[in-house]
Structure 1
Amino acid sequence: MSLLKVAIQSAGYEKKKEIIQNINFTIKKGELVGLIGPNGAGKSTTIKSLLGLMEFLDGEISYINDINYSYLPERPIFYDELTLWEHLDFVAAVEGLEEKVFKEKANTLLDKYKLSEHAHENPTKYSKGMQQKAMLVLAMITNPLLYIIDEPFMGLDPNAMKLFLESIEMERNRGAGILMSTHVLDTAEKICDRFLMIHDGHLVAKGTIEDIRRQCQLPNGSLYDCFHMLAEGAENEK
């Protein structure tokens, strides 16, 4: 079942000044799709298009009926005057979560990410790694059916990264779909079901790692090898 269907003909901040063109893909229940590309390729524009933040968009973005999704930005964002617990309480109120269920879920996540002792502190004062973990807790509190994640590994130490990977695997097993933008290609190759490779605003390849290897004619190539071959090929075609 497709949780999200994307058919973007073009999108940008102004009409006739498109940043991305011909971006088409789906996200299904329980799958993790990696959004891959260099800086400036159009990954952020693609994500902003999904979130309805682009001023100009020609195409169609369709979410399954009544889906709830969570967005994890590349850089953590918090309200200056709220503690982490108050952030969680605010999200619960907006989403209409039952108080007992909310508190049980919140305490479980805070304990799992070792943030229980800091729940009543202002997250703007946290370390970078703690802020990333706080954002994950806020994203997971509503049990979303779809995650849109932008560069999740920034600021995470190895233990926190392991915990994050275990968490998203648990969410996938629950049936959640995940679109994850990342530059960490070796990790992406190990955990993603499919890939979307964007270069210069265009989708230059998509599919499983086997699909990508066939397109590149690199039967034993790594995701890193394939990406650079496709990127160089796109540059040469200009």
Structure 2
Amino acid sequence: MESLLAVEELTGGYSRQKPVLHQLSFDVREGEMIGLIGLNGAGKSTTIKHILGLLQPHSGSIRLQGRRLDEDPTAYRRTYAYVPESPLLYEELTVKEHLAMAAMAYGIEEAAFEERAEELLEEFQMSVYANRLSAHLSKGMKQKVMIMSAFLVRPRLYIIDEPFLGLDPLGIRSLLELMVKVKNSGAAILISSHILSTIEKYGDRFLLLHGGVLTAAGDMDALRSQAGMPGASLDDVFCHLVSPNGCKS
């Protein structure tokens, strides 16, 4: 499969004197879901911020479809859609207006926007709230707006950070079904989550960050081999690799 995102020898963070990330190298290929996992402070969000272009690498490179951000910022940014851990909305805009704004940013035609918006509003049980101002939405509803905005534009790469926080069970189910659908259509997904049982079930490969270093990478068989734990769950493998004594139940 072709590499859509290529991260090579990435060292970075907020300060050159104290980098958070140390020589990370990995790729994300078309038609696969990659789980980015690690303890709090491991560097997951910092990695995502570098991919988004919010932080500049100290060294190394990040390429989307073979291009760096500085080579063609517009084309680079239109390759991905981002769902942050904490929803960020404009209080004076309605749900539908947020979706329309996302469509305009990605050059989606009006007819396609209306069809996609209607489908997503129905899927996430948000049709009745389409004209409600975001200031009057619950946190879970705001998260749904962020998710719908990302899936409306149908990018090549979805970057999703802790998406299950605040979602109701039906919202979680809708999100998982959509991720499977877009993956099967050839899009790629990079998802960061602490819900390891879900990541294990839906992910194709996994990147385990620990102390800003890529400690383990690969599919479940590869991670089990690296941990010396044949047949173990992702949760058990994770605990073994990040804790000297493993995790106590």
The answer for the alignment partner of 1:104 in structure 2 is: 115
Contact 1:8 1:57 in 2 (8 A): no
The answer for the alignment partner of 2:4 in structure 1 is: 3
Separation in 1, partners of 2:80, 2:108: 15
Q: Give the fraction of aligned pairs with identical amino acids, expressed as a percent.
A: 44
Q: 1:158 pairs with 156, 169, 176, which one? A: 169
The answer for the alignment partner of 2:43 in structure 1 is: 42
Contact 2:99 2:117 in 1 (8 A): yes
| Change over 3 Å in CA distance of 1:187–1:82 after alignment to 2 | same
The answer for the alignment partner of 2:129 in structure 1 is: 118
Contact 2:103 2:153 in 1 (8 A): yes
Separation in 2, partners of 1:9, 1:30: 24
Written as runs of structure 1 = structure 2, the 5 A alignment for 1:1-238 is 1-64=2-65, 66=75, 68-233=79-244
TM-score norm. by structure 2 comes to: 0.90
Using the TM superposition, give the Cα deviation of residue 234 of structure 1 relative to its aligned residue in structure 2, in angstroms. 11
| Farther off after superposition, 126-135 or 210-219 | 126-135
Classify the secondary structure of the residue corresponding to 1:195. strand
| Change over 3 Å in CA distance of 1:157–1:100 after alignment to 2 | same
Provide Cα deviations, 1:14-73, integer angstroms capped at 9, x if missing partner.
212100102111111110000000100100100001011114531100000646210000
Using the TM superposition, give the Cα deviation of residue 149 of structure 1 relative to its aligned residue in structure 2, in angstroms. 0.5
Structure 1 outlier segments of 4+, above 3 Å: none
Aligned residue pair count: 235
Using the TM superposition, give the Cα deviation of residue 108 of structure 1 relative to its aligned residue in structure 2, in angstroms. 1.2
Separation in 2, partners of 1:32, 1:48: 19
Q: Which amino acid aligns with 1:43?
A: K
Using the TM superposition, give the Cα deviation of residue 202 of structure 1 relative to its aligned residue in structure 2, in angstroms. 0.5
Q: CA RMSD in A?
A: 1.6
Contact 1:13 1:56 in 2 (8 A): no
| Change over 3 Å in CA distance of 1:113–1:4 after alignment to 2 | same
| Farther off after superposition, 222-231 or 60-69 | 60-69
Contact 2:164 2:172 in 1 (8 A): yes
| Change over 3 Å in CA distance of 1:136–1:146 after alignment to 2 | same
Q: Which amino acid aligns with 2:179?
A: I
Provide Cα deviations, 1:91-149, integer angstroms capped at 9, x if missing partner.
22222211111111111111111111111111232122212211111111111110000
Separation in 2, partners of 1:118, 1:103: 16
Q: Which amino acid aligns with 2:55?
A: M
Using the TM superposition, give the Cα deviation of residue 204 of structure 1 relative to its aligned residue in structure 2, in angstroms. 0.3
Q: Which amino acid aligns with 2:65?
A: I
The answer for the alignment partner of 2:72 in structure 1 is: none
Classify the secondary structure of the residue corresponding to 1:155. coil
